[in-house]
Structures are given as structure tokens and as C-alpha cells.
A and B are shown apart, each in its own frame.
Chain A
């Protein structure tokens, strides 16, 4: 049956790159030539990370206290950071990534 995407709801709220994030626990990432396929076992939604740096950002989110740090580690050029933050905001609203300090 369809499991409720509870985490996506509780961690919702505006995406805040000053906060710590991580890949959602229900999400699996499969590397592909263009970036990665992302599958959420809760929502059954398949989505795509369309660049390799974005995959890297998502992978290292959990090691950083904020999103900016992950962008630096993934060597996302300064000029592209706004674009990446918008992509990450989209991933947060889809529940692909979630706040580590949600509910606190």
C-alpha cells in the first residue's frame, strides 16, 4: 500500500541553506552518466539529479552544518551557486532531502 510521505511533511517549511540537511532516509540514489536517478520509496517518485556536482552536494550534505558548506566541498563554482540552491530547494520541497534539525 501507499506509505504516507510523513517525513516530507514534517520537514517542510521554507528551504533554508543556513540549516543542516541530509538525504531523506527513504531515498536511494543510483549514479548514472548524467548524474543520478533518485527514488523515494515512500512517495514512489522517481526523479533526476541532472549534474554530477549536484549528486556530490546531496551526498555530502550530511557532513556539513549548512548547505553552503556542502556546495564548497562539491566545488560548485560561485557563479552557479544560486542555481544549485534553487535546485536544492526543489529537492527539499519534494522530500528528497530533509532538515537534520527538523522539529527542534
Chain B
């Protein structure tokens, strides 16, 4: 059996575990995969987090990707970081940089087994702040400067590729080089608030090709988290596993301890259990019915007849799910255009699943920068109930493509 087939059947512990420590965040990014903003009152306590770390150590989960929300706004973040490292669980954490002042940067530079990933979604303030909010570009750059000056070494700059920044890939690389950082680019998914900004932000088909060509030409020392395997159908396979790792080698622990198959799938349908249950995280990873199902044979539906199926494997489960496509159908960004055809065929009464949780700030974010047109995505969804007369009031159903607003 080839190695990748073993991965398909699942491992004794995850290789890539994302742990979101809090739903609290100082920003309100329009594409936030976890709809973060406000802390959840039921979030794991410091003691519970430490118990999870103990368990990860026993399971030999060598490192975790910590995110949120903004993990550093948890007052016990630095304590948990030290605790994990002391228990042989290396930490890579994602941050918007808000807490990375000179002092923290120096502290991190002195710490082994910690990796920092600064989120940046535009190589210019204009492009970045449109998605991540006013001032967020300056915050990120300041954090990078602090890490660089503290001699931290090679931190990561993490970019979600969108319609607006796909032309800036070389510029992102230049920023990474300037601060001695490594560039990481990942796929935008319609998860969390990403569902609301998907139509505006997801790269066009031409841009998918442009992205693929860039990865082939210049992607050698660029990290991708294996997230662009659907693009392999353009030709040569991209480096990485080229398979959906959900529940097999990947999973998510959310701030309240719920375990989901993947960070982009915060929905009851992909909920495998909770770390607070009797068997703990290990019990969920090893015994959950959902994960057993994901590790079993998967049906590729009509896609299996496609000559590119071996390359793309049907694409991303979360991207299909949150655009209303069947899980055994094509990816919405199928490079052959089959996703677009399938989306156009969706019936009027197709229910588009919404994330099960929403911790978004209740207030609207401040106005975007003046000076240009305001990009506005009109809702493409119909009211949930027949009695909701305002067609913009509800969400959950998709209009037929012919009358969709663009």
C-alpha cells in the first residue's frame, strides 16, 4: 500500500491539528472561516486547555497550529504556549499581530519550538484592509518589523488568495524576503463569513490558472498547506499530499472543545465530538463515527468519470458544502468549470448550509476607506421562510443562476 493510502485510512493521531483557542478577535475580517469576533462564554478554561495539551503529548501530536479568533487576546495565551512547549508539543500560532510588540517579539525569539504566522491578505494596505479592516495592514507590518528586529528568524506570512490579491503574489514574496520570513498562501473557502464574501472574493477561473502557473514557476519555497490540490487538474501535481485530509490527518479543536473534521468545516454535519467528553480528544479522534466514515471509501460521484479525478480528488469538501454543492460532486472552483455548471443547476429550493456558530461582532465594522467605489455584494439568497417578505432579510436558499445578482 502506498503511503498516501495509509493516510486515507487515518492515522493514530492527526498530523495537522488546528486548535482555535478563542472566538474573540479584535478584527472582523470579511472572510473569517470561524465567524469570530466575540468570546464564547463556554470556552475551555486554562486547566482544560492544559489537559488537552497533556493528551496531545501522550498521543505524540508533535505540534499544533493555534489560531482563533485572535489567540493572543486570551490572557493565558503565553502561559499555554509555554506549557505546550514544555510538554513536547510545538506551537505554530496565527495572529494578526496585535499583541506582538517589541517585548513579545524578543520573548518569542528566545523560545524554541514556536513558530509565528502573521496573517496578511493584501501586499498593500488598500487591498489588505478591505478584507481585514482599517489599520490591520499597519498592525501586521509592525509585528513583522518587531520579529525581524528581535532576530526571531524565519516566521511565516500567511495569505489567503483572493480575487483582489492574486496579482500581488510577487509582492507578498518580496515582503517575506524583506523580513526574512517564509511565504504561505492558502485557498479561500466559503466557510464562516467567507460564505458571505465568496462571490466577491474567490478567484476567477482565469485567476486559478494564473495562481497555478505561479505555484509551478515560483512555488518551490512557498508553503501552501496542501490547500490547492484542486488545481492539480491543470497539469502536473503540486507538491504535497494532494488529498483531503479532513478527519484523516487533519482536524480542528474549536474554542469550546468541539472537534470538527477540518478547520473549514465548522458545521454540525462535520462535528465529531468534544474534548470534554469521557474519552477526551483521543476518544474522538480514534472512535468517532464521522471520522470512521471519512476514512472509509469515498464516492466521487460523477467526478470519478473525469480523467482529472486522480489529480483533484473531487476538491475541497468544505468548499462544496458551503456553496450548496453535493459532497460527491465537483468543487465549486473545478478548473474544468464543472463546479460553475453545477452551481448554475442548483434548484431554487436548495438549502445552502450555514455555519452552525456565529461569534461575529454585533456591530458593523466602520466604513471602509474613502476614495473609491464601495465593492458591494448583493445577497444571492432567498428568505428562509415563505413569510419573510423581504428578499434580503433571510439566508439559506439560492436563487436560480439566471436571476442571481452579480
- Chain B contact residues: helix, strand, loop or mixed: loop
The answer to whether A32 and B12 touch (CB under 8 A), given A1-B153, A41-B90, is: yes
Tell me if B112 and A37 are in contact (CB < 8 A): no
Q: Mark A35-50, 1 if CB is under 8 A from B, else 0.
A: 0010101001010101
Interfacial chain A residues near B3, Cβ < 8 Å = 34, 48, 50
Contact among A37, A41, A50 with B113 in the assembled complex (CB-CB below 8 Å): A41
Residues of B within 8 A of A44 (CB): 63, 90, 115
A32 contacts B11, C-beta separation under 8 Å = yes
Shortest beta-carbon distance from A61 to chain B in Å: 20
Residue on A nearest B6 in the bound complex, by CB: A34
Cα distance A34–B63 in the bound complex, in angstroms: 21
- Given that A30-B12, A46-B62, A50-B3 are known contacts, is A1 also in contact with B152, CB under 8 Å in the complex? yes
Is B109 on the interface with A (CB-CB < 8 A)? yes
Q: Mark B35-67, 1 if CB is under 8 A from A, else 0.
A: 000000000000000000000000010110000
C-alpha gap A9/B335 in the complex (Å): 44
- A73 located at the interface, meaning its Cβ lies under 8 Å from any Cβ of chain B in the complex: no
Q: How far is the CA of A17 from the CA of B62 in the complex (A)?
A: 29
Give the CA-CA distance A12 to B341 in the complex, in Å. Answer: 56
Q: With CB as the reference atom, state the residue of chain A lying closest to B155.
A: A1
What B residues does A3 contact at CB under 8 A?
112-113
Interface: A83 (CB within 8 A):
no
B237 at the interface (CB under 8 A from A): no
* Chain B residues positioned under 8 Å from A28 (CB to CB): 60, 62, 88
Interface hits, A4-30 → B, CB 8 Å: 28, 30
Cα distance A65–B63 in the bound complex, in angstroms: 33
Given the known interface contacts A1-B152, A41-B62, A46-B15, the answer about A32 and B6 at a Cβ–Cβ threshold of 8 Å is yes
With contacts A1-B114, A2-B154, A41-B113 known, is A31 near B12, CB below 8 A?
yes
| B391 to A: closest C-beta gap in Å | 50
Most central of B3, B9, B110 by chain A CB within 10 Å: B3
A26 vs B112: C-alpha distance when bound (angstroms): 12
Which residue of A is nearest B249, CB measured?
A37
B136 on the interface (CB 8 Å rule)? no
CB interface residues, B 107-132, toward A, < 8 Å: 108-115
- B56 CB to closest chain A CB (Å) equals 12
Q: Interface size on A (CB < 8 Å)? A: 16
B108 touches A37 (CB 8 A): no
Residue of B nearest to A48 (CB): B3
**CB-based contact A1/B108 at 8 Å:** yes
- Kindly provide the distance from the CB of A53 to the nearest chain B CB, expressed in whole angstroms: 16
The residue in chain B whose Cβ has the minimal distance to the Cβ of A40 is: B62
Closest residue to A39 on the B side, CB-wise?
Answer: B62
Q: Closest residue of chain B to A34, judged by CB?
A: B6
Query: A62 CA to B11 CA in the complex, in Å?
Result: 27
B152: which A residues are within 8 A, CB to CB?
1
Is A104 an interface residue, CB under 8 A from the partner?
no
Q: Is residue A80 within 8 Å, beta carbon to beta carbon, of the partner chain? A: no
User: Contacts A2-B154, A46-B62 hold; do A37 and B11 have CB atoms under 8 A apart?
Assistant: yes
With A28-B88, A31-B12, A32-B11 already in contact, the answer to whether A1 and B62 are too (CB < 8 A) is: no
Contact code string B178-194 (vs A, CB < 8 Å = 1, else 0) = 00000000000000000
Looking across the interface, which residue of chain B has its beta carbon closest to that of A2?
B153
> Is A1's CB under 8 angstroms from B109's CB?
yes
With A1-B114, A2-B153 in contact, do A30 and B60 touch (Cβ < 8 Å)?
Answer: yes
Could you show 18 A-B contacts with beta carbons less than 8 Å apart?
A: A1-B108, A1-B110, A2-B154, A3-B113, A30-B60, A30-B62, A32-B6, A32-B11, A33-B9, A33-B12, A34-B3, A39-B63, A41-B88, A41-B112, A41-B113, A46-B15, A46-B62, A48-B3
Which residues of B are at the interface with A, using a C-beta cutoff of 8 A? 1, 3, 6, 9, 11-13, 15, 60, 62-63, 88, 90, 108-115, 151-154
Question: Which chain A residues have a beta carbon within 8 Å of chain B's beta carbons?
Answer: 1-3, 28, 30-34, 37, 39, 41, 44, 46, 48, 50
What are the 3 closest A-B residue pairs judged by CB atoms, nearest first? A39-B62, A30-B60, A2-B153
